[in-house]
Amino acid sequence: MPFLEIRTRCADAIATALETEFGHRAELRLEVPPRRELGDLAWPGALPLAKVLRRAPREIAEWVLAAAAWPEGVQRVEVAGPGFLNIFLDRPRLLRQLLAHAPAEGGAGGPKTIVEHTNINPNKAAHIGHLRNAVLGDILVRSLRVLAVPVEVQNYIDDTGVQVADVVVGVLHLPEPELAAALGVEISRRDELVVTFLERLPGAEVPAASTRDFDDLCWEIYPRVTARYEADPDFAARRDEVLHAVEGGPGQVDRDQAEFLLRGAVIAGEPYPERAVACLAGEVATGNLRCHLATMARLGIAYDLLPHESDILHLGFWRQAFEMLKACGAVRIESEGKNAGCWVMSLAASPEFADLDDPDKILVRSNGTVTYTGKDIAYQLWKLGLLVGPDGRRLDFGYRSFARWTRPGPALPLRYGEEGTALVRTTSDQAEASPSGGFGAGARVYNVIDVRQSYPQRVVKEAVRVLGHAEAADSSTHFAYEMVALTPAAVRLIEQSSGHRFDLSDEDMGKAYIEMSGRRGIGVKADEFLDVLESAAEDAIVSRLGHGGEVADLADRARAIAVGALRYLMARQSRNRVLAFDFAEALAFEGDTGPYLQYSAVRAAKIFEKLAERRGEGRVDVDEAALLEGAAIDDELWDLVLQCARRHEVVAQAVAGLEFSLLAQHVHDLAQLFHKLYHGHPVVPEDDVELRRLRRAVFTVFVDEIRVLLEDLLGIPIPTEM
């Protein structure tokens, strides 16, 4: 990282000069000035020092300039304006250094970091809101990897929750005509409908993504169930029955047996056997999960581990966490009042929660079941390696391979079902050892969860703290982001194309945005939207061809462009603003969009292609780079070089603030600089050998950098052509 190095050396030089000249010690940081005529690095520190040292700021800057031992690589230093110290770098030198460095060279490294993201309830198809979570989480993972931090990616599966139970209730108890309608089949007896439902489960480990999958089927069933809960209070009792069965677990009952038992119960008119119901719930969760993996694979998003909530329960993780909380007095059972019979964690002692009217959070309900927050505490402790049994050993899951995936490059394509990396799920059998070993026990943990869950996330963190792990609590970060909502125009469009009526009030439709709701079936499914994006990209490619013939890899190109558009859309908006989804805006491929970035990479690659073809020249290698010494690099070329050098700084800042709009902005600026140069600095037609070499050198640095930024960092694939 040549730029980081010279930046640090200049800062050191200034700090040393300040100390010897004025006896002043200070941590200082150099900025990159807004315009190149103001230099490449700047120190504004003389201004605030003026008061302390009782001297004019310009005078201080002059002193520092004269006294500092400027490192090699600094061409000249000036005092400017009211007292800025502007540093100009040796341009050809930095360019040569960049050419000598491997593009993906890492940084600091560090201890293992766990990122938990996606976490979609496995009871229906993913919608575009889930994509925001997954894309932000994935970019965090990629950013950490660019900084050479070892990362483990976990996708938590809430397979024993209410939402999965609701779909099971639908299959077992929704009136036959409604269930048949949701399934899209003729009305028949329930046992046949149950079979039809089970037949729709994915056959493969991870199926090819589509909008007619098992998760889409559940998408139809779920809102019908929630609607019936409201209409028929007795129906809600069914949910409790199912939840109770799920909690007991399926035992040894497998899918075939479950099907047999459920059919038998229908025919005999008897209650459903609990183990069969639990098995059905498990199949629903796993079936949806497999579909979600397929959806995320379209975006190049992969995981290392799928921790299941059922395993946290069955392996007694919660029991152990509960004992730990009791042992340190963090929880107590309420004997009276509104929380009578519940185990609560008191937050009164924590200043963070001082403002709450009711500073208690229920972890165990009066009926003895654990809340989600309770289970999350156990999970968080495990992630941090702090869940320790009475024998002093770390509690751990059993593990089993869930699917295999492969990805030839850093971005697309990601394929499941091929030899490659194992995606592992947890199991309740600790005899099943981890295939790769060593999951969990991260030194730092990020939970990518939407902002509405800030309160329970604070509770989880506080639990870690009161258990005596203040440092671990501080290393636990809730990566909060705002929801994705729909513009009224988008809702109307969905109503038109789907034929569904959401019956929203005029007041709702008058708002700036409308919240999506899986419960009501209001939303844009992820696969649906990706399909629309891909076909729009195909249209754009074809229309730009004129009447030119066929494109061999049309589908691949369209896929890359669709993914680029979507990922950039998610990255460029800062995380704490509601993303109001609008089709017209999301389908734009021009301007400040993913394809704009991709096009810069494609154009750059094309230059080298033509260069090889017409002049037999290629990239500028280290040997040829030596010829660049003393080259006159104009401001425009230099801007691009400098921007290419700033990756580490930008990524580190983005991770520190969890703000990826900074990354988006950085890559956009870089692409913009390139597109401008493209017009004014031709390479192939340039006959001057020296000038051509310089441009080749700058574009060599650019091609490498834009590839890292798009593919490695943002997960945006670069198409062959556009």
**Does residue 595 bind RNA (CB under 7 A)?**
yes
Confirm or reject binding of residue 662 to RNA (CB under 7 A).
yes
Strand ranges for 396-488 from DSSP E:
398-406, 415-416, 421-427, 444-450, 476-481, 484-486
60 binds RNA (CB under 7 A): no
Chain Cα centroid distance, residue 323: 34
Shortest separation between residue 176's beta carbon and RNA, angstroms: 28
C-alpha distances in angstroms, 460 versus 127, 368, 394, 457, 503? 27, 20, 19, 5, 38
Tell me: does residue 578 bind RNA (CB under 7 A).
Answer: yes
Q: Which of 46, 172 has the CB closer to RNA? A: 46
Which residue in 9, 55, 73, 80 binds RNA (CB under 7 A)? 80
Binding of residue 362 to RNA (CB under 7 A): yes
Residue 599 CA: distances (Å) to CA of 419, 595, 643? 32, 6, 18
The nearer residue to RNA, 200 or 492, going by C-beta atoms, is 492
CB 339 within 8 A of CB 360: yes
Helix H or strand E segment including 413: none
714: contact with RNA by CB under 7 A? no
Applying CB under 7 A, does 75 fall inside the site for RNA? no
Tokens 């490059």 -> residue: 409
Q: Which stretch binds RNA (CB under 7 A): 13-21, 352-360, 390-398, 640-648?
A: 352-360
Element (H, E) at 580: strand 579-581
Nearer to RNA, 196 or 600 (CB): 600
How far apart are the C-alpha atoms of 494 and 131, rounded to whole Å?
18
Cα 273 to the center of its chain, rounded Å: 40
Restricting to residues 226-255, which ones interact with RNA according to CB under 7 A?
none
Q: Whole-angstrom Cα distance, residue 344 to residue 498? A: 45
Taking CB under 7 A as the binding criterion, the range among 252-260, 624-632, 640-648, 673-681 that sits at the site for RNA is 673-681
Q: Does 29 bind RNA (CB under 7 A)?
A: yes
Decide if residue 653 touches RNA (CB under 7 A): yes
The DSSP secondary structure of 674-697, one letter per residue, reads HHHHHHHS-STT---HHHHHHHHH
Q: Are 168 and 281 contacting, i.e. CB atoms less than 8 angstroms apart?
A: yes
SS (H, E, C) 235-251: HHHHHHHHHHHHHHCCC
Nearer to RNA by Cβ, of 191 and 636: the residue is 636
260 lies in the binding site for RNA (CB under 7 A): no
* Residue with smaller CB distance to RNA, 48 or 184: 48
361 binds RNA per the rule CB under 7 A: yes
Nearest distance from C-beta of residue 87 to RNA, angstroms? 9
Q: Which is nearer to RNA, 179 or 644 (CB)?
A: 644
Among 53, 63, 86, 447, binds RNA (CB under 7 A): 86
76 binds RNA (CB under 7 A): no
Joined together, the tokens standing for residue 44 give 């504004």
Query: Of how many residues is the chain composed?
Result: 722
Given the complex with RNA, which of 371 and 434 has the nearer CB atom? 371
Q: Is 655 in the site for RNA (CB under 7 A)?
A: no
User: Within positions 114 to 143, which residues make up the interface with RNA, using CB under 7 A?
Assistant: 121
Q: What sign does the dihedral 452-562-158-410 (CA atoms) show? A: negative
Beta-sheet pairing, 151-154 with 331-333: unpaired
Only segment of 109-117, 201-209, 323-331, 369-377 that touches RNA (CB under 7 A): 369-377
Strand, coil or helix: 342: coil
- Taking CB under 7 A as the criterion, the residue among 186, 234, 336, 357 binding RNA is 357
Residue 17, token pair as written in the block: 């000069």
**Distance separating alpha carbons of residues 193 and 196, to the nearest angstrom:** 5
Q: C-beta of 338: minimal distance to RNA in Å? A: 6
Residue 420 touching RNA (CB under 7 A): no
Contacts of 461 (CB under 8 A, 6+ apart): 380, 473, 476, 478
Least Å distance, CB 233 to RNA, is: 14
The residue from 606, 629, 634, 635 that contacts RNA (CB under 7 A) is 606
Strand-pair partners of 580: 485
CB of 711 to RNA, least distance (A): 17
CA–CA gap between residue 346 and residue 358 (Å, rounded): 9
Q: Of 156-185, which residues contact RNA (CB under 7 A)? A: 158, 161-162
Do the beta carbons of residue 246 and residue 164 sit within 8 Å?
Answer: yes
Q: Does 456 bind RNA (CB under 7 A)?
A: yes
Measured from the CB of residue 293, what is the shortest distance to RNA in angstroms?
Answer: 20
- If binding is defined by CB under 7 A, does position 576 make contact with RNA? yes
User: How many residues of this chain interact with RNA, rule: CB under 7 A?
Assistant: 102
User: Is there binding between residue 358 and RNA (CB under 7 A)?
Assistant: yes
Amino acid at 281: A
If one asks whether residue 378 binds RNA (CB under 7 A), the answer comes out as no
Q: Which of 22, 70, 88, 678 binds RNA (CB under 7 A)?
A: 678
Binding-site member from 97, 373, 426, 475 for RNA (CB under 7 A): 373
Do residues 575 and 478 lie in contact, with contact meaning Cβ atoms separated by under 8 Å? no
CB of 66 to RNA, least distance (A): 18
Tokens of 391: 């024998």
Q: Does 682 bind RNA (CB under 7 A)?
A: yes
- Among 399, 416, 596, 702, contact with RNA (rule: CB under 7 A): 596
For position 355 contacting RNA by CB under 7 A, the verdict is: yes
- What minimum distance in Å lies between the beta carbon of 265 and RNA? 27
Residue 123 burial by CB count (10 A; 0-12/13-18/19+): exposed, middle or buried? buried
Torsion of CA 532, 536, 537, 542, to 10 degrees: 140
Per rule CB under 7 A, is residue 618 in the interface with RNA?
A: no
Work out which of 602, 625, 637, 710 binds RNA, going by CB under 7 A.
602
8 Å CB contact between 283 and 171: no
- From first CA to last CA, the distance across the chain in angstroms is 32
> Going residue by residue from 544 to 563, which x/- string records binding to RNA, judged by CB under 7 A?
x------------x---x--
Measured from the CB of residue 718, what is the shortest distance to RNA in angstroms?
11
Query: From the CB of 47, what's the least distance to RNA, in Å?
Result: 3
697 binds RNA (CB under 7 A): no
CA distances from 570 to 139, 155, 156, 326 (A): 10, 19, 21, 42
Shortest distance (Å) from residue 122 CB to RNA: 11
285 is a site residue for RNA (CB under 7 A): no
d(Cα 30, Cα 41) in Å, to the nearest integer?
6
- In this structure, the strands spanning 343-346 and 484-486 are unpaired
Measured from the CB atom, the residue of 119 and 196 that comes closer to RNA is 119
Q: Does 489 bind RNA (CB under 7 A)?
A: no
**Which residues are within 8 A (CB) of 543 and not within 5 positions of it... i.e. 6 or more apart?**
none
Given candidates 322, 599, 638, 702, which one binds RNA under the rule CB under 7 A? 599
